[in-house]
Amino acid sequence: MASTMVAVGLTTAAAGFAGHYVLQAMKHIEPQVKQIFQSLPKSAFSGGYYRDAVLPCRPGWS
């Protein structure tokens, strides 16, 4: 029972440290990611491919 509690505690601590380092890395990467998104063409996100995919009323369907 005690060994299970120790294992849970160590796993929680490891997850906390890993999350901390991921957040620190994201702070350094964020400007580069923003630059990449700004360099993408606007049509990549608003191409209208799914614009007419869902119709509010489909005649003939019951």
pLDDT tens across 32-62, in order? Answer: 888 887 887 766 566 555 555 555 666 666 5
Q: Give me the mean pLDDT over the 1-24 stretch.
A: 94
Compute CA distances 33 → 11, 41, 44, 47, 58, whole Å: 30, 15, 16, 21, 41
Give the pTM. Answer: 0.46
Q: Which residue ranges make up each domain of the chain? A: 2-33
